[in-house]
Structure formats: C-alpha cells, structure tokens
Amino acid sequence: MRCFFIIFCLLILFTEGYSQNDAGDNNLSDTILFPSNFFDIDEPLELTLRFDIKNLTKEKSDKDYLPAELFYFINDTLKIEKNIRIRARGKFRKKQCYFPPYWINVKKSNVNEDYISSVNKIKVVSHCKDSKTYNDYLLKEYIAYKLLNIITDYSFKVRLAKIKYIDTGRENKITKNWAFMIEPEDLLAKRLEAYPLKMDKISYRQCDPLKTTIMSIFQYMIGNTDYSVAGRHNVKLLTLKDYTKPELIVIPYDFDFSGIVNTIYAKPSEKIGIKSVTERYFYGMCRSDETYNEVLNLFREKENDIFSFIDSFEFIDKRMQKYVRSYIEEFYDEIEQTNFVKKNIRPSCEKLLLKNS
C-alpha cells in the first residue's frame, strides 16, 4: 500500500533530462506526490490558490465545492498547476470568519488516479479575517499544535503555509495570508498504527488513562476548555491495532478558544465559572497522584524543547512571541507550586466526576 497520496504540488518525481516542455505531458505532470515527511517540515509552504473567493466568503457552503486552481513554483521558471476543489468547513468559525476554514479536495480533479490513496482531502485553517490580529491568532494556534507535537506523538501534525489568493470573483484581486494544514485523520491513524473511530457516546473510562491525562494537562497548559470527550467536541478517537491495548486514544484539535491564542471572540462556558479563557481550568478526569506526577514529569522533560520552539518561531512578531512565552511560563511556575494537584486539579476534576456519575 502506498504511504503517499496526492494533494498538491510539493515533490516532483522526474527523470534525467526533465524540462519545462515535459510539464505538458500528462504522465509526468501527474507524478506530484504529497510526501510522508510533509508535516515534519518547519519551513512554510508557499503556494497560490485561484478561485472564486467572493463566492466562498458569501455563501460559506459546507456542501458545495468550488473549482479552484493550485499553483506551485518548483523554481523561478518551473510552475506546476493542478485543478482542485475547495469547500468551506467548520461550525463556529464558519459563522465567525469572513474567510472561513476550508477543505482542499483532489478527488475528481485532473490527477492520475494511480497515485491517489483513500485520502483525498485536507483541512486548511484560514486567517479568518484580513487583519494582523487574526493572522496572529492563526500563528498562535499553529504554535499550540506544535507544542502538543513536542509533548506527544498522539497529536495532529500541522504545516504552516503562506498562501497567495487570486479571487476570480473580484477581477483576480490578489491577497496573501498565513494558513496551516492539518494532518488528515486517516494519515494520523496510519502513523500511530490505529483505526479512526466515529463513536458518539463514550466515557473517559473507555480511554487510555495516561494518554488522556497528558491531553488534559496540555489543555490546561494552553488554557483550553473548549472540548469534550464524552460529547466528542473538538476531539477525535482512535483505537490501536494492537488488540492487547483496547483503551481509546483521544486526539484534540481546534485551539482558537484557548488562552494561549486569546481571540477576541473566545468566551469560556458559564458552567465552569471562569471569566476569561486566559484563566486556567482543569477539564479532565481525576487520576491517582502517581499518574499526575508521571505526566507532569513528562512536561518538565519537554520544557526546554517547548521554549526553544517558541523562541525560534520567527514568523510571529516579538510582542505576540513574548505573550506566548509568558503564558507557558506561568504554567511551569504553577506546576512547581506546593500541592499543585490538590489545589489546581482535584477541585475541578471532582466536579467533572460528579457531573458524569
């Protein structure tokens, strides 16, 4: 089974003597693969999308696809072009954002079917609105994903992109904005040797205790309570192929309501009793002190790597970078306090236990 699927122009397999004239040959022009290390590359992807953005922003249909063209330059003279399809996605952000997040879909495009696997589309998180503030939100959410990648492999990988948009609905008006792409669920499952699950009703008791606690402490670190395991809100579920490990794996996503991102539209639920998303609140199940200590020690081990990534992330301005660092520093200061688990974790996890009992 091929471990690659085509989604857009990133890697060209070409024979010796390949030239611009060869680009017109269908067999060669369709050997554009999405490599297995795509989400391990930190360098932002630069590409161009040409489609009716006016229609996307006006209709925001999550059912109808729009035809689009994708352009990618291999070098200064060689340009690769593909016909793809784009569709709005999301729930809250589809309503909140002028430019909603979207799917890129290569199914039924002019791609050689021999190279297409079961994964035909990929999620793109867009800039939402044309302003520096919203681009900062996007970059901070990207950082949140990357921090989780540092802590555990049981997380969605992401790839930063700088996209040039050409709006055919507005006389080919050109804009440039940040975006990031999220690892498709099927590829995540394959990487972790697991199967994706579509169960709607589950409980924490069905989930791997250690991995779920890592996830919950991470959510506490970034100040996020906008998720629910039982309600399958902003989490995906996996079951490992190893039948000796039947517990489910919870994979979180969507961090725009977190304190580390701190969007103007993010409000905490009134049920948990905090006034701002920047206030941390533990929204996980109660575990033994031994489990919490094991998880907190993992976070301590990753501390240098976490701050190294934040400090080296050059695409966000210094003010926002300082905010992100300060917010994570607060977490590390908290976990070193005497009786941290007793004071900060157990009161809220006991409420959740009563709620689910």
Pairing of strands 248-252, 235-240: antiparallel
Residue type, 201: K
Give the pLDDT score at 94. Answer: 82
Alpha carbon 198 to its chain's center: 19
**Which two structure tokens, joined as six digits, stand for 95?**
């309503």
Give the pLDDT score at 77. Answer: 66
Kindly list the domain boundaries of the chain, sorted by start residue.
Answer: 11-186, 193-356
* Cα 290 from Cα 293, distance rounded (Å): 5
Structure confidence by residue, pLDDT tens digits, 296-345? 999 999 999 999 999 999 999 999 999 999 999 999 999 999 999 999 99
**Which two structure tokens, joined as six digits, stand for 44?**
């932002």
Q: Long-range CB contacts (< 8 A, 24+ apart) of 21-27?
A: 23/78, 23/80, 26/112, 27/112
Q: In what order do the strands lie in the sheet with 235-240?
A: 194-197, 235-240, 248-252
User: Do 123 and 89 touch, CB atoms closer than 8 A?
Assistant: yes
Give the pLDDT score at 61. Answer: 80
Give the pLDDT score at 29. Answer: 35
* Cα 26 from Cα 113, distance rounded (Å): 12
Q: Among the residues of 103-208, which ranges form H helices?
A: 132-151, 185-191
User: Do 193 and 274 touch, CB atoms closer than 8 A?
Assistant: no
Structure confidence by residue, pLDDT tens digits, 50-73? 999 999 988 888 888 999 999 876
User: What is the block-wise mean pLDDT of the chain (357 residues), using blocks of 10 residues?
Assistant: 41 34 35 65 91 91 89 69 89 86 74 45 92 96 98 97 95 95 94 90 88 98 94 93 94 97 93 93 94 98 98 96 98 96 93 61
Give the pLDDT score at 71. Answer: 86
